[in-house]
Amino acid sequence: MKHDKIERNLGWLLVLTMLAISAGGLVEVVPLFFIKETVETVKTADGKDMVRPYSPLELRGRDIYIREGCYLCHSQMIRPFRDEALRYGHYSLAAESKYDHPFQWGSKRTGPDLARVGGKYSNDWHVQHLTAPRSMVPESVMPNYPWLIKTNLDTSDLTLRMMALRTTGVPYSVSKAEYDRNVKQFGEDVAKTLHIPDAEKNLVAQAQAGNYDNNKDNITEMDALVAYLQVLGTMVDFKQFDDDYFAKFR
């Protein structure tokens, strides 16, 4: 049967289209029934999870990142291709996004991928880049965000934001039992940052210790956004795993 006859015959077109979609769907879905886990297991030597939920300050930074539309020009997903690995590092793991609601994978790169930007530049570099991008990258088309360093961070609804994420399965704790569970899963230092009743105190402590905007007099939106950028891609220590370790999860 010639292709033009299929396109002219609505019945044949519908039947063959459904067959093609069904075959493609089966190829994608059936293998999932034979894989025990699609989210990679990444633990430290003492059995603690490497990937953790965001701290209160990082969480507010992520909210600002989304509010300002950064995801429209920056993806957070390194694909398993040689050229991407050479430029950005190890391909992104599903485990690295399991606490992201919504995830920030993206599909467009007007700017570079940010999946592993954490620790690549200093805090001062990020502050200057966000304030006046072309002062750091002359060819950049990124807008200026000067108000971030002038705007005090709003924490009035911080606990509500964490409680909302808690309903989606992010293990922020409220009770002593939940706190103890996080100690076992992530370690005590991380568990402290995930305890909702102490969220405000933890946010202030991290902002002052990190001094992300180089001004300890107040906590700004710049503090939060830089804290978020600096944690991206830093949770998994790939040096602890063999090159083929993650292949079994694909």
pLDDT at 38: 76
Is residue 131 a part of any domain in this protein?
yes
Do residues 29 and 117 share a domain?
no
Q: Torsion over CA of 74, 77, 80 and 82, rounded to 10 degrees?
A: 30
Do residues 64 and 185 share a domain?
yes
Do residues 136 and 207 share a domain?
yes
How many domains does the chain fold into?
Answer: 2
Is residue 50 a part of any domain in this protein?
no
Is residue 8 a part of any domain in this protein?
yes
Range of the domain at 162: 56-77+95-236
d(CA 63, CA 155): 12
Q: CB of 246 within 8 A of CB of 96? A: no
Q: CB of 104 within 8 A of CB of 111? A: no
Is residue 49 a part of any domain in this protein?
no
Do residues 100 and 30 share a domain?
no
Q: Which positions ≥6 away from 47 have C-beta within 8 Å?
A: none
Is residue 246 a part of any domain in this protein?
no
SS3 of the chain: helix, strand, coil, percent, to 5: 55, 0, 45
Do residues 27 and 104 share a domain?
no
Is residue 99 a part of any domain in this protein?
yes
Is residue 43 a part of any domain in this protein?
no
Q: CB of 162 within 8 A of CB of 21? A: no
Q: CB of 194 within 8 A of CB of 182? A: yes
Count CB-CB contacts under 10 A for residue 120.
Answer: 16
Q: What is the DSSP letter of 99?
A: T
Is residue 90 a part of any domain in this protein?
no
Q: Which positions ≥6 away from 206 have C-beta within 8 Å?
A: 55, 56, 57, 58, 193, 227
| Average pLDDT per consecutive 10 residues, the chain (250 residues; last block may be shorter) | 77 90 91 78 93 98 97 94 92 94 90 96 98 96 96 97 97 97 97 97 96 93 98 95 79
Do residues 8 and 62 share a domain?
no
pLDDT at 213: 95
In this prediction the pTM is 0.86
pLDDT at 6: 77
Of 126, 108, 100, nearest in space to 71 by CA:
108
